[in-house]
Homo-oligomer: A and B are copies of this chain.
Amino acid sequence: MTHTNYKVKNISLAKNGKLKLDWAEAHMPVLMLIRKEFVKKSPLNGLRVGACLHVTKETGVLVRTLKAAGAEVFLCASNPLSTQDDVAAALAKEGIHVFAWRGMKRKEYYWALKQVLNAKPNLLLDDGGDLISTLHSQKPELIRDVFGGQEETTTGVLRFRAMEREGALKIPIVAVNDTPTKRMFDNVYGTGQSTIDGILRSTNVMIAGKTFVVCGYGFCGRGIAWKARGMGANVIVTEVDPIKALQALMDGFRVMTMKEAAKIGDIFVTATGNISVIRREHMLLMKDGAILANSGHFNVEISMQDLKRISKNVRKIRDNVEEYTLKNGKRLYLLAEGRLVNLAAAEGHPSEVMDMSFSNQALIAEWLVKNHKKLEPRVYNVPEEIDRRIARLKLKSMGIKIDKLTQEQKNYLFSWREGT
């Protein structure tokens, strides 16, 4: 690796990016511990890693770790609005092949994906599934170089499972998204906080006293709903799944159809992994001044098409706030163009929570290298021992001690004969 290919906004932002990376490293103790090991063992020595991730300071810490493990890393953005340009610059300067800048056009976005694929990566880290989908649909000739991939989002895992069902999947994928130390922490606690953060930074509105509608009560939606309540909102949940709807009710939230919620909400956040969750029929019912935001992976949850069609005027009122004046005279405020509000309007998940998600990614990279010959082209779960190891390291880094099973307890749990 004598030369770093990259395309970033401005390489001179690197100094500030480095400070951000340092700050993140101070809050990602588990990944730093893993890096130490990787430096010793070089588990990715000589391999090429292609990553399509939100280019944030936390991703930077992961990418530095992969490099420390011996890999050459090619990085593009998994979302056109989520790149932190200073971090991208710092990584480029350190020898990471970064192709990412905030505000990429659709064409540029796919151009960047291809730069990464063209490097013939052996391992793929994906966030939303675009990198691996593109590999399958447009660069099938590169598949034979790939040991396996990892996917970080619910959305992406759904796509790969669909591909597996149809026999279209050609590489093993580890569903990092689904593992407890990722899903329960990143999705619930990370998304919860960073969504509130994104709304505050973009609007500065009072959350207390507002009627706050959360679309979807999966792990992400749950995190958002609880934090919104924690900030004093009166929260309404909409769902299509009767079991999740019941959970929301039992957790003290109101549950109703989107059509009912549309009339009374002050702030709406989507977190469903689905399309057109807020659409024309809902927008027309909303109150003047309603705020719309999305925390799902793709910017399809709020129908931009519908919103534009029913509007007579659009203007930018603040960073990440666009005012849509509808033909009916009401004004709706769309945050971050309907993209992930927590990444586009804030800084994404806090480092502490990404520490766990990305520690999974680092250890899974190692695991794929070791095991790829035995693996089939399907979606795998994270091995339980990796998950538990991360949890134990995290507790340790927080100074928390927990109990251990006594021998009597082990016997009791594993033998049905002990009984009553």
A232-B230, A247-B184, A252-B234 known; A205 vs B352 contact (CB < 8 Å): yes
A133-B416, A255-B400 known; A229 vs B232 contact (CB < 8 Å): no
Q: Give min CB distance, A164 to chain B, whole Å.
A: 9
A168-B416, A275-B408, A402-B257 known; A232 vs B251 contact (CB < 8 Å): yes
| Nearest residue, chain B, Cβ from A109 | B420
Cross-chain contact A181 with B243 (CB below 8 angstroms)? yes
Q: Could you tell me which residues of chain A, from 376 to 390, have a CB within 8 Å of some CB in chain B?
A: 387-388
In the bound assembly, the distance between CA atoms of A415 and B255 in angstroms comes to 28
Stretch from A17-25, A67-75, A364-372 at the B interface: A17-25
Q: Give min CB distance, A28 to chain B, whole Å.
A: 11
Instruction: Check: A130 CB closer than 8 A to any chain B CB.
Output: yes
| Nearest residue, chain B, Cβ from A297 | B420
Cross-chain contact A193 with B231 (CB below 8 angstroms)? yes
Instruction: Check: A135 CB closer than 8 A to any chain B CB.
Output: no
In the bound assembly, the distance between CA atoms of A319 and B7 in angstroms comes to 26
Cross-chain contact B204 with A350 (CB below 8 angstroms)? yes
Cross-chain contact A412 with B239 (CB below 8 angstroms)? no
Cross-chain contact B252 with A232 (CB below 8 angstroms)? yes
Instruction: Check: A31 CB closer than 8 A to any chain B CB.
Output: no
CB neighbours of A184 from chain B (8 A): 243, 247
| Nearest residue, chain B, Cβ from A315 | B19
A197-B200, A408-B275 known; A252 vs B240 contact (CB < 8 Å): no
Instruction: Check: A40 CB closer than 8 A to any chain B CB.
Output: no
Encoded as 1 (CB less than 8 Å from any B CB) or 0, chain A from 109 to 148 comes to: 0000000000000000000111001000000000000000
One of B129, B193, B207 near A416 (C-beta < 8 A): B129
CB neighbours of A251 from chain B (8 A): 208, 232
CB neighbours of A414 from chain B (8 A): 162
Instruction: Check: A206 CB closer than 8 A to any chain B CB.
Output: yes
Cross-chain contact B181 with A246 (CB below 8 angstroms)? yes
Cross-chain contact A250 with B395 (CB below 8 angstroms)? no
In the bound assembly, the distance between CA atoms of A415 and B206 in angstroms comes to 35
Encoded as 1 (CB less than 8 Å from any B CB) or 0, chain A from 301 to 326 comes to: 00000000000000001100100000
| Nearest residue, chain B, Cβ from A163 | B416
Cross-chain contact A352 with B240 (CB below 8 angstroms)? no
Q: Which of the listed residues A128, A200, A388 has the most CB atoms from chain B within 10 Å of its own CB?
A: A200
25 residue pairs bridging A and B, Cβ less than 8 Å apart: A27-B205, A128-B420, A129-B416, A129-B419, A130-B419, A180-B243, A204-B351, A206-B352, A208-B251, A209-B249, A209-B250, A209-B252, A209-B398, A227-B232, A229-B230, A234-B253, A240-B409, A242-B388, A242-B391, A246-B395, A255-B395, A255-B402, A258-B403, A274-B405, A276-B406
